[in-house]
Chains A and B, each alone.
Chain A
Amino acid sequence: MEAKGIKKNTAIWILAVLVLFVLSIILGIIMRLNQGGAVHLEPGTFYADMTVHGITMIGIWFVAGMAGVNFIMERYVKTSYWANTFALVMTVIGVVMLWVSTLIGDFHAGWTFLYPLPFKIAWSAWATPMFLWALAVLGVGWLVWVLSLMAALLKKYSISQVFAWQHFRNKNPEVETPPFVLISMVSLLGVLTCLIAAVVLLVLLFAEYYSHGTFVNDALLIKNLTYFFGHTIANEMLYLGLAIIYELFPEISGRPKWKTTWYVAIAWNLTLFFVLLAFFHHLYMDFVQPQGLQIVGQLASYLASLPSAGVTVFSVIVAVYRTKIKWSLSNLLFFIGIAGWVIGGVGAVIDATISNNFLLHNTLWVPAHFHSYNAMGNVLFSLGFFHWFSVEYSKRKGQERLSSLKLSFLLLGGIGFLAAFYVAGAESIPRRYSSYPVEFTSAKLLATLGAVFATVYLIAILLFFSSIFKRCLNMVLQRS
């Protein structure tokens, strides 16, 4: 019953993610149109829009990765249906609270809700506590889910096995750790860490809010904790998607399963450690942060991303180069997604280099790179999984229609949308402006172009949406 339950829950996760994704894209397009001058939003409304867009996108693609990992993990260990369902219920409640606090309560401190913004009330007074409680609800649901998946893996594998340490020196160890298990565990431990950071952060924020000024926070501590949580979760959700790719890409392509080698094991162990330190690069402009931590931030940014990207790209190239591949929509999405992830990753590493950050900090280069590895990376990882899942487990099988059109729109829309960000970033156009002053001569044009291409991207997503949605809805409505 539980395996069926996980399948049904996975279908519900997919439906929820797709609906929220489409709504969040529309919010994004409205923001770009406002920056382009085609529509007019009050600044408060723009920032409320930006807040809900950012936090929803991070949330949905995190749970999409978790749902996919949970579903595939059933191949190796037995996972908890109840933890999965609990997370689902808490996510629904949390998202409703978030949307109410921002769209009705007008809370607009941005998805990073940087201290002390949440306490500078420029919206309904109840919106601040509701926003913070929404995060708490989401955090509790996800924490339980993550702990349950970790427990499931640790029942079967010892700590050294689950992190593939036996592969460091031994080519053929007695117990082999599948890459999926290794990367899932690396990601889950990272997620656990950043969720604990979020708990500490929320406790401190609640303490200040409910003490009415008797207790005040240290701004540097809160900013460090905010990015410990925010940066780390944004990275770990990518790794969840990669765990799925390591499992499904060879399988869908008709190639032998990928194995954990010593360099794969080392690369992912480096990622496990260094991704927890990379967030310091968000504080380069905070002069009170000690210089040592700034250098740690730069080095960790390289050491967390480059080894894992290197082995993943190497594995994919070996898998596809001069070999007969059974291409389908899913593995094409995986393949393009890895390219998007790598391009965005290079953009991120450029920005994480201190000397470059002096120029690029808080310009549109920042949304350019994080939209690259999300909109054209992580989204495609999960979309590939959604498509595979819906076809594999649905009774409504049949020829996939309009595949080329979907991919063409996705590529055209995605690349155009990102190019508008990159060009603007290179021209030092600042981010987080609701509208641009005339001095930024190309800003409005680029924003409008961004909105047009994002609309093409949205059409592609709607085409995917229609086929995946129908199949998943069928699964949910099926009687067990």
Chain B
Amino acid sequence: MLKYGLTTFLIFVCSFIEDAVAQPAVGWQEEANINEVIYNAPLQIISGAHVSIHQLAAQNPLVVAFVFTRCSGICTPLIIQLKESLQFAPNIANKKYNVLVVSFDPRDSVKDMENMATRFNLQHEGNWEFAVTDSISRLISSVNFNPVWDEKTLQFDHDALLVGVNSQGFVTKKLLGLRNSKDIGLLINSINNVFSPTYRLPAQSNLFSCYNYNPKTGKNTPGLGMLFIALPAILSFLILIFIRLVSKSKSV
């Protein structure tokens, strides 16, 4: 009876793992693909031009926003917020940039994107480009953007993502979610190859980080700090053994 009880309990406990794993792994998403080359997708711009992303980036570094025109969620606030933040972003006065709004919905046509640009009153803004591409899946997988189609709502479940691409076509920075003008300023600086200190970097004064980030490989390795987290448990079990040995030797 108790064995059945224990088995049931273990199944109950394990059943929640799926829930835990199913949560959006925001974790290191913003760091994924940094310093990698964005897929050179051919674009059809609403002006009628045909150009690739790398060609566009070579003219001016890019802020790429991924949207779809039938979106009833985050796409509209993302564009409005970006438009507004670009007006107030600090330290970008002399910086070059273009904003490329690409649809990730294969149903969207150039006309749909043109309507979207008109809706935001951006159709005549020189440094805003609205485009579609026939290579969307390769483009979004190169920046780790993963929209999921939901049959119930007939909408994509997706992040609000801005990707910064420098003139050489490298991803320099990503921003997830609706971000303020300060973050947008850092993004613009990063695509202009200006150092943007978004995280406190390991320094000589910081000895015990939990993780050490290697910008060349883009990977984290456990740091000395992790040892400090394990230390109390290790020490207490050693103390337990030590006390027992001492009391045993005294009683002999």
Nearest-CB distance from A181 to chain B (Å)?
14
CB < 8 Å: which of B20, B233, B240, B246 contacts A295?
A: B20
- Contacting pair A158 B210 (CB below 8 A): no
- Contacting pair A224 B229 (CB below 8 A): yes
Any B CB within 8 A of the CB of A150: yes
Nearest-CB distance from A294 to chain B (Å)?
7
Nearest-CB distance from B20 to chain A (Å)?
4
Residues of B within 8 A of A228 (CB): 229, 232
Which of under 10, 10 to 19, 20 to 34, or 35 or more describes the interface residues of B? 35 or more
- Contacting pair B228 A155 (CB below 8 A): no
Nearest-CB distance from B43 to chain A (Å)?
32
What string of 1s and 0s marks CB contacts (under 8 Å) between B216-229 and chain A?
Answer: 00000001010011
- Contacting pair A220 B27 (CB below 8 A): no
From A291, A306, A310, residue with most partner B Cβ within 10 Å: A291
- Contacting pair B206 A218 (CB below 8 A): yes
Residues of B within 8 A of A358 (CB): 23
Any A CB within 8 A of the CB of B209: yes
Residues of A within 8 A of B22 (CB): 355
What string of 1s and 0s marks CB contacts (under 8 Å) between B195-216 and chain A?
Answer: 0000000010111111100000
Any B CB within 8 A of the CB of A252: no
- Contacting pair B25 A291 (CB below 8 A): yes
State A204–B208 Cα separation when bound (angstroms): 9
Nearest-CB distance from B238 to chain A (Å)?
10
Any B CB within 8 A of the CB of A405: no
Which of under 10, 10 to 19, 20 to 34, or 35 or more describes the interface residues of A? 35 or more
- Contacting pair A306 B9 (CB below 8 A): yes
State A295–B14 Cα separation when bound (angstroms): 10
What string of 1s and 0s marks CB contacts (under 8 Å) between B10-28 and chain A?
Answer: 0011001101111101110
- Contacting pair B229 A192 (CB below 8 A): no
Any B CB within 8 A of the CB of A298: yes
Residues of A within 8 A of B154 (CB): none
- Contacting pair A287 B27 (CB below 8 A): yes
The 8 lowest CB-CB distance pairs between A and B, nearest first, are A221-B225, A196-B232, A197-B232, A193-B236, A155-B247, A354-B20, A355-B19, A218-B209
Residues of B within 8 A of A355 (CB): 16, 19-20, 22-23
- Contacting pair A224 B210 (CB below 8 A): yes
Any A CB within 8 A of the CB of B121: no
Question: A213-B205, A218-B208 in contact; A150/B243 too (CB < 8 A)?
Answer: yes
Residues of A within 8 A of B209 (CB): 218, 220-221
CB < 8 Å: which of B13, B225, B229 contacts A299?
A: B13
Residues of A within 8 A of B12 (CB): 302
Residues of B within 8 A of A216 (CB): 203, 205-206
What string of 1s and 0s marks CB contacts (under 8 Å) between A308-350 and chain B?
Answer: 0010000000000000000000000000000000000000000
- Contacting pair A302 B16 (CB below 8 A): yes
Question: A155-B251, A303-B13 in contact; A221/B240 too (CB < 8 A)?
Answer: no
Any A CB within 8 A of the CB of B49: no
Interface SS majority for chain B: helix
- Contacting pair A295 B231 (CB below 8 A): no
- Contacting pair B210 A220 (CB below 8 A): yes
What string of 1s and 0s marks CB contacts (under 8 Å) between B169-213 and chain A?
Answer: 000000000000000000000000000000000010111111100
State A200–B17 Cα separation when bound (angstroms): 32
Any B CB within 8 A of the CB of A168: no
State A353–B22 Cα separation when bound (angstroms): 12
State A193–B232 Cα separation when bound (angstroms): 5
- Contacting pair B20 A298 (CB below 8 A): yes
- Contacting pair B207 A215 (CB below 8 A): yes
State A193–B233 Cα separation when bound (angstroms): 5
A287 closest partner in B (C-beta)? B26
Residues of B within 8 A of A218 (CB): 206, 208-210, 223, 225
Question: A159-B240, A220-B210, A224-B210 in contact; A354/B27 too (CB < 8 A)?
Answer: no
Any B CB within 8 A of the CB of A478: no
Those of A115-149 within 8 Å (CB) of chain B: 147
State A220–B199 Cα separation when bound (angstroms): 13
Residues of B within 8 A of A215 (CB): 205-207
Nearest-CB distance from B22 to chain A (Å)?
8
Question: A295-B20, A295-B21, A354-B20 in contact; A290/B27 too (CB < 8 A)?
Answer: yes
Nearest-CB distance from A33 to chain B (Å)?
37
State A216–B23 Cα separation when bound (angstroms): 32
B199 closest partner in A (C-beta)? A288
CB < 8 Å: which of A194, A214, A299 contacts B232?
A: A194
State A214–B25 Cα separation when bound (angstroms): 35
State A353–B23 Cα separation when bound (angstroms): 11
Nearest-CB distance from A218 to chain B (Å)?
5
Nearest-CB distance from A447 to chain B (Å)?
32
CB < 8 Å: which of B27, B211, B228, B233 contacts A276?
A: B233
Residues of B within 8 A of A295 (CB): 17, 20-21
Any B CB within 8 A of the CB of A154: yes
What string of 1s and 0s marks CB contacts (under 8 Å) between A191-222 and chain B?
Answer: 01110110010001000000001111110110
- Contacting pair B241 A159 (CB below 8 A): yes
Any A CB within 8 A of the CB of B239: yes
State A304–B207 Cα separation when bound (angstroms): 33
Nearest-CB distance from B9 to chain A (Å)?
7
CB < 8 Å: which of B208, B232, B239, B250 contacts A147?
A: B239
Residues of B within 8 A of A298 (CB): 16-17, 20
Nearest-CB distance from B223 to chain A (Å)?
8
A279 closest partner in B (C-beta)? B229
State A276–B207 Cα separation when bound (angstroms): 25
A193 closest partner in B (C-beta)? B236
* Pairs A–B under 8 Å by Cβ, sample size 12: A150-B243, A151-B243, A154-B247, A159-B241, A193-B236, A200-B228, A220-B225, A228-B229, A228-B232, A353-B16, A354-B16, A355-B22
Residues of B within 8 A of A302 (CB): 12-13, 16
Nearest-CB distance from B250 to chain A (Å)?
8
A297 closest partner in B (C-beta)? B20
Any B CB within 8 A of the CB of A189: yes
Question: A287-B26, A294-B20, A355-B20 in contact; A196/B205 too (CB < 8 A)?
Answer: no
From A150, A154, A215, residue with most partner B Cβ within 10 Å: A154
A266 closest partner in B (C-beta)? B6
State A225–B210 Cα separation when bound (angstroms): 11
CB < 8 Å: which of A154, A196, A224, A354 contacts B23?
A: A354
Any A CB within 8 A of the CB of B252: no
Any B CB within 8 A of the CB of A76: no
